[in-house]
Amino acid sequence: MIHSLFLINCSGDIFLEKHWKSVVSQSVCDYFFEAQEKAVDVENVPPVIPTPHHYLISIYRDKIFFVSVIQTEVPPLFVIEFLHRVADTFQDYFGECSETAIKDNVVIVYELLEEMLDNGFPLATESNILKELIKPPTILRSVVNSITGSSNVGDTLPTGQLSNIPWRRAGVKYTNNEAYFDVIEEIDAIIDKSGSTVFAEIQGVIDSCIKLSGMPDLSLSFMNPRLLDDVSFHPCIRFKRWESERVLSFIPPDGNFRLISYRVSSQNLVAIPVYVKHMISFKENSSSGRFDVTIGPKQNMGKTVEGVVMTVHMPKAVLNMNLTSTQGTYTFDPVTKVLTWDVGKITPQKLPNLKGIVNLQSGAPKPEENPSLNIQFKIQQLAISGLKVNRLDMYGEKYKPFKGVKYITKAGKFQVRT
Amino acid sequence: GKNEDLKQMLESSKDSSKLDAMKRIVGMIAKGKNASELFPAVVKNVASKNIEIKKLVYVYLMRYAEEQQDLALLSISTFQRALKDPNQLIRASALRVLSSIRVPIIVPIMMLAIKEASSDLSPYVRKNAAHAIQKLYSLDPEQKEMLIEVIEKLLKDRSTLVAGSVVMAFEEVCPDRIDLIHKNYRKLCTLLVDVEEWGQVVIIHMLTRYARTQFVSPWKKDVVEEYNENNFYESDDEQKEKDQKVKKTYVMDPDHRLLLRNTKPLLQSRNAAVVMAVAQLYWHLAPKSEAGIVSKSLVRLLHSNREVQYIVLQNIATMSIQRKGMFEPYLKSFYVRSTDPTMIKTLKLEILTNLANEANISTLLREFQTYVKSQDKQFAAATIQAIGRCATNITEVTDTCLNGLVCLLSNRDEIVVAESVVVIKKLLQTQPAHHGEIIKHMAKLLDNITVPVARASILWLIGEYCERVPKIAPDVLRKTAKSFTNEDDLVKLQILNLGAKLYLTNSKQTKLLTQYVLNLGKYDQSYDIRDRTRFIRQLIVPNEKSGALSKYAKKIFLAQKPAPLLESPFKARDHFQLGTLSHTLNSKATGYLELSDWPEVAPDPALRNVEAAEVVGRHRWNVEGSTSQVHIFGFQVSRKIFYVFYSDSEDSKKKAKGITKKRNMSSSSDSEASSSEESSSDSKSESDLQSDSQSGKPGRAASKEKKKKKKEEKKKKNGKGLAAHYHFSRQPCIFGERMVSVQVTVTNTTDQKIENIHIGEMKLPAGMRMHGFNPIESLEPEGSITVSMGIDFCDSTQTATFQLCTNEDHFNVSIQPPVGELLLPVTMSEKDFKKEQGMLTGMNEASATIAVAPQNSSSPVIIERVVKAANLGVVPSGQDNIHRFAAKTVHSGSLMLVTVELKESSTAQLIINTEKTVIGSVLLRELKPVLSQG
């Protein structure tokens, strides 16, 4: 399926190549560069590019293009999903998926790629199995290795791949047994000029960090499971149990993993935790405009809205902005025309405001449209959908684990039209 | 050479410097630098004891073997040795590397290795064999026929590890051999949920193609079942006629239904490719009324990264043309954000346009107004096209849209204006009568618009409808005649057209002007313009040479032209299978496999029937969830005792029958365990129940109880029943090292919910322990659930008795393990076996001479039968007539060594060596009939 992989940085250098079948020349990437040039910005490079003899399927992650070379029909999502899994694995192993990290760990990268695909078909993609095959680097280990000459390659061969629970490694042992669940919800919304909601929905995930010895069998139940309209599962979850009882029953992988992703039924009204008052105007036949934005919390929340950041792509005609903020700091990049206002925490008594003058290129026509405001925020200890974990039970092991659930609500793609 | 230092390091006696060298070499390969000259120095280390050096040498070999074939051959013997290693992972990796070395001369060696590996007892090795098939096929396509044989064999494999890989090989080597799938179809459907995610995608795509060749279309009539109520007044004849009609209505093949049912849970996969695969399966195979269940999951994927969004949106775009209803409820999920990349925006817009109807159009047009103002002008232009399409498709809003577009004509942005002109032109063609004003308005714009397409569109409009704007048209011609030489070719052609049309309708005013334009055209630089000029002149200006045609010039130029259709660019894509690369590219990719049309008449469904012995293997728990695979070393193992607690009505009796049919071997070692039992038919199952209830075997008491209750409750209308069967999964137990893993499938055969199924009191002999399953809160009617439990039998065949309770009742259940299930296989080499055997002689040895039925004397049959009877691991043997098996007891871990030595005249010597002499002799007794019976 996947013939070769090229990693390309933003300046167009191919800094890694790997072939699972015969070697394909680097020159195939020229077609990619051509498409990249045409697309103007990285976001618009088409993920699938046909060339005379191959097809290129690529993803863009962390300032790196992962360009795979395909020769025959294959579901494009298969390749895309796999490439993201590769990037996830790098992230997991090296703490970041960057050109430097990949170059510094080129041998581990190669060993990983070798295990993840055989003849272009995925072989081992579970992080638990890979970590048994190839140990992730640590500073201590690389020092020890260089002295003793021992290696990063596991000398015990993984049993997980052969078992009926391939996602969990065998022989897990902890002195402190802990299970943490983060319920993270993101609000995607489009708010129109007048402040009413055009579209809003909640997308949630439960990310888990499980450090439990042996073979724990967990059951996680919710107070209000019916809220979850559409759910996708980690393979460890017993689907039938969810179907019949709405309980998440599973033998977890060891370490960090995403247990479920879900969408909250669009029938439910989504509470929008912030409001934005805005006055942005450009005068006809004048080289200036006014900008005045206030962000406030909606009363009914009772929790603090923090980590508030506003980004605005100003129209091309904007030369500069002279603003004053009552709180936080703002920057305006005259090249990209991006205004960023880092607000921080909102205190209801004194609402953050940013206002001032917009300088336009003289002679240029008045901008057609006011820009949209993209808002980020965070609310701790709250799942905006109202989802609540009821209890976590453990079977199969005798010890008492420490259990914890954390809730957090964030802005997803949250956009205010002005 | 320049890599002298690396060569020296590789020659070094120290592993650390060899390793450093290999790491640097891999770094070179990664950067695409040539490291081929190091081949001789590297290949020497292929047999290194250091596992990391070895791995890196493998990496190097796979990269350069093709270029250095002669030298690569030096490494082959190392891999051939490793193929015989007792460790399955070493065997697998040897096969992997050997098959990745693309050296034609080793084709026969590869073929042999693949054949052997495909019979390996480890499913992991067999999986690697499936991968190797494709590698060998691409190296030497002439091996195709032999490889198909291997594929055929591996398709029969019951391991979930192998399934995805072998179907992949099938798709690459012989996708047209649909006949190989028939017998494996049901198994693949059943195994699907337990296969790893990548394999799932491949299997689902293959099964989609398969189903389109084997089942009739569910789309002709969407009525699945139609019950015929007896009409009291109808005559018999009428009734018969009606019955026949009913027969003609579509009934879905149960196998077709099986596929739809078993793929549906995968919509919940975290893997977008799996979700898309199921979605396309439903699109291409499900009744139209059911296809809608995939929408929600596809919309969920829109929250993913931009690449996934891109592909999913493309597919939704195609779907939404044909079946708007599927995505209408999610209309707002396709609203565009200013931060979306343009390619995502355009796709969303495409879908919104497809979904537009009378009910939502006003909301949509309001949304579109925002998009038109977008700073992303390419997107704004696309929105104008979209408005045009809405206007033609929904007549109620045509005028509104037209007015909106006319307003856009005063937009500051030229691209917006130009696009509006083009769209307005198309719209006006559909109803020119009312729009003289708009045409006038556009004529005025001509002075300011510079975009050629827009200018050309306006000129065409004025020419076409020149009789509606009789005053303006000649004036426009006058103006453009002046600018002719500076216009774009596109515009020049339309000036010529305008001239011709005016000449024909209003020659008095425009004759001279037109001739002037034609003269300019005659000497134009572009030959297209010159040709067109000559052509027009001949047609409209009568002279001796011009023939009969000029009489019809007016008809030719001013014929009523059909209005252009404003269609979705995705319309043409629907002939590609959704989710494919070809669909994304909108052109056939290499290796694309066509989806066939439904057959008029379905091929014989009996093709998919499997011989009884195999049917038995299709257990319900295969679909239960990821923890319920029942495959160890390639043999389906299943021993279960069947008990039904109580049931009364005819209905539940039938169900009980159904379950009996699935019986495999009874746990006892008496004659009932023979294979004829496995094929018990419907007619026989009733008598099975009888005999069950008469025998005093464990688990049968329950049947007796059932009989009794049946009588008692017969009077009641609604019966209740709970069926349960168990089997030994032969997996290491997750509940404790010394426990035997038992899986129990509980089925509710009543029409009511059964609640709180749990284990009550346990009666265990001294020393035995049991880990029960988690209580089942409730079980829906018809529902069944498989749960795991663990029992430590203390290496004995004593019975474990416990109560199975529901909210209302409780039952005694007894499980007595066959001795073969108290073992776990052990992998060891022949040498180690002999060594261990040497230490377990005398008291620890039990043996017997047995007669071997002739059909049982071949190696595969002996291995299969022995391994089926007891959970033993096979020890590779150097002699054809001696078979060795090794296991350890689950509780104490004591070795259990079994030897079968074939002698002359159909006899064999059966030897068992173990410290556990009691179970050793029981095992000896149980294995005897296994080989002696036919």
Residues of B in contact with A371 (CB under 8 A): 338, 375
Q: What is the pLDDT of residues B869-905, one digit of tens each?
A: 899 988 888 888 889 999 999 888 889 999 998 888 7
Q: What is the pLDDT of residues B741-787, one digit of tens each?
A: 888 888 887 777 888 888 888 888 877 888 888 888 888 877 888 88
Q: Collapse the DSSP code of A410 into the 3-class scheme (helix H, G, I; strand E, B; otherwise coil) and give the result.
A: strand
Length of chain B equals 934
CA distance A250 to A241: 9
B31, B63, B124: residue with CB nearest A162 = B124
Give the residue from chain A lying closest to B629, CA to CA. A164
> Are B269 and A233 inside 8 Å of each other by CB?
yes
> Are B128 and A73 inside 8 Å of each other by CB?
no
Give the residue from chain B lying closest to A15, CA to CA. B31
> Are B131 and A119 inside 8 Å of each other by CB?
yes
Residues of B in contact with A219 (CB under 8 A): 774
CA distance B114 to B62: 18
What the block records as the tokens of A201 is 């929905």
CA distance B933 to B675: 10
Q: Which residues of B369-405 are buried (b: 16+ CB within 10 A; e: fewer)?
A: ebbbbbbbeebbbbbbbbbbbbbbbbeebbebbbebb
**What is the widest separation between alpha-carbon atoms in chain B?**
127
A17, A166, A258: residue with CB nearest B30 = A17
Q: Which residue has the higher pLDDT, B734 or B253?
A: B253
CATH of region A176-268+381-414, choose from 3.30.420.40, 3.65.10.10, 2.60.40.1170, 1.10.1040.10: 2.60.40.1170
Alpha carbon of residue B267 to chain centroid: 11
Q: Which residues contact B77 (CB under 8 A, 6 or more apart)?
A: none
Q: What is the pLDDT of residues B262-273, one digit of tens each?
A: 999 999 999 999
What the block records as the tokens of B744 is 């129990």
Q: Which residues of A107-145 are buried (b: 16+ CB within 10 A; e: fewer)?
A: bbbbbbbbbbbbbbbbbbbbbbbbbbbbbbbeeeeeeeb
What the block records as the tokens of B312 is 């999913």
> Are A166 and B196 inside 8 Å of each other by CB?
yes
Alpha helices (H) along B602-751: 612-615, 650-661, 675-678, 682-694, 700-713
Nearest CA of chain A to the CA of B726: how many Å?
18
Q: Quick one: which of A260, A179, A180 has its CA closest to A227?
A: A260
User: What is residue A228's predicted lDDT score, i.e. its pLDDT?
Assistant: 86
Nearest CA of chain B to the CA of A253: how many Å?
13
Average pLDDT, chain B: 80
Specify the DSSP element, H or E, that contains B418: helix B414-430
Q: Which residues contact B382 (CB under 8 A, 6 or more apart)?
A: B345, B346, B349
Q: Which residues pair with A57 in a beta bridge?
A: A48, A68
User: What is residue B716's predicted lDDT score, i.e. its pLDDT?
Assistant: 34
Q: Collapse the DSSP code of A287 into the 3-class scheme (helix H, G, I; strand E, B; otherwise coil) and give the result.
A: coil
pTM flag (> 0.80): no
Instruction: Give me the helix-helix angle, B197-214 and B254-263, nearest 10°.
Output: 160
Q: Degrees (nearest 5) of the Cα angle B215, B221, B225? A: 85
CB A321, CB A358: distance < 8 Å = yes
Nearest CA of chain A to the CA of B536: how many Å?
40
User: Using CB atoms and an 8 Å cut-off, which of residues 164-183 of chain A contact chain B?
Assistant: 164-166
For residue B766, how many other CB atoms are within 10 A of its CB? 6
What is the topology classification, in CATH, of domain A1-146? Answer: Beta-Lactamase (3.30.450)
- Confirm or reject contact between A97 and chain B (CB < 8 A): no
Q: Does domain A273-378 have CATH number 3.40.50.720?
A: no
Instruction: Give me the helix-helix angle, B414-430 and B377-393, nearest 10°.
Output: 10
- Confirm or reject contact between A241 and chain B (CB < 8 A): yes
**Domain spans of chain A?**
1-146, 176-268+381-414, 273-378
State how beta strands B754-763 and B776-779 pair: antiparallel
> Are B66 and A22 inside 8 Å of each other by CB?
yes
Q: B371 pLDDT exceeds 60?
A: yes
Q: B667 pLDDT exceeds 50?
A: no
CB A238, CB A249: distance < 8 Å = yes
User: What is residue A327's predicted lDDT score, i.e. its pLDDT?
Assistant: 92
User: Using CB atoms and an 8 Å cut-off, which of residues 247-286 of chain A contact chain B?
Assistant: 247, 249, 251, 258, 261, 263, 266
Residues of B in contact with A412 (CB under 8 A): 303
Q: Collapse the DSSP code of B250 into the 3-class scheme (helix H, G, I; strand E, B; otherwise coil) and give the result.
A: coil
Phi then psi for A279, rounded to 5 degrees? -140, 100
Q: B217 pLDDT exceeds 80?
A: yes
What the block records as the tokens of A213 is 């010895």
Task: Please check whether the two domains, A1-146 and A176-268+381-414, share a CATH topology.
Answer: no
Give the residue from chain B lying closest to A109, CA to CA. B30
Residues of A in contact with B276 (CB under 8 A): 75, 77
User: Using CB atoms and an 8 Å cut-off, which of residues 327-356 of chain A contact chain B?
Assistant: none
User: Using CB atoms and an 8 Å cut-off, which of residues 764-783 of chain B contact chain A?
Assistant: 771, 774, 777-780, 783
pLDDT tens over chain A, length 418 residues: 899 999 999 888 999 999 998 889 999 999 999 999 998 888 899 999 999 999 999 999 999 999 999 999 999 999 999 999 999 999 999 989 999 999 999 999 999 998 899 989 998 888 888 888 888 876 545 555 555 545 555 545 555 555 667 788 777 889 999 999 999 999 999 998 888 888 898 999 999 999 999 889 999 999 988 888 889 999 899 888 898 899 999 999 998 899 999 988 666 678 889 999 999 988 877 788 899 999 998 866 678 899 999 999 998 889 999 999 999 999 999 998 999 999 999 988 889 999 999 988 887 777 777 899 999 999 999 999 889 999 999 998 889 999 999 999 999 999 999 8
CA distance B215 to B285: 9
Give the residue from chain B lying closest to A232, CA to CA. B268
> Are B55 and A111 inside 8 Å of each other by CB?
yes
Mutation target vs A (from B17, B58, B307; most A CBs, 10 A cutoff)? B307
Lowest mean pLDDT among B343-352, B366-375, B699-708, B728-737: B699-708
What the block records as the tokens of B641 is 């005792």
CA distance B82 to B85: 5
Q: B231 pLDDT exceeds 60?
A: no
What the block records as the tokens of B448 is 């300011």
User: What is residue B1's predicted lDDT score, i.e. its pLDDT?
Assistant: 62
How many helices (H) and strands (E) would you count in chain A?
7, 23
> Are A44 and B135 inside 8 Å of each other by CB?
no
Q: What is the pLDDT of residues B478-527, one digit of tens each?
A: 999 999 999 999 999 999 999 999 988 888 888 889 999 999 999 999 99
> Are A239 and B310 inside 8 Å of each other by CB?
no
Q: What is the pLDDT of residues B295-307, one digit of tens each?
A: 999 999 998 999 9
Q: What is the pLDDT of residues B828-863, one digit of tens each?
A: 888 889 888 888 887 788 888 888 888 787 888 888
Instruction: Give me the helix-helix angle, B342-355 and B361-372, nearest 10°.
Output: 160
Nearest CA of chain B to the CA of A99: how many Å?
13
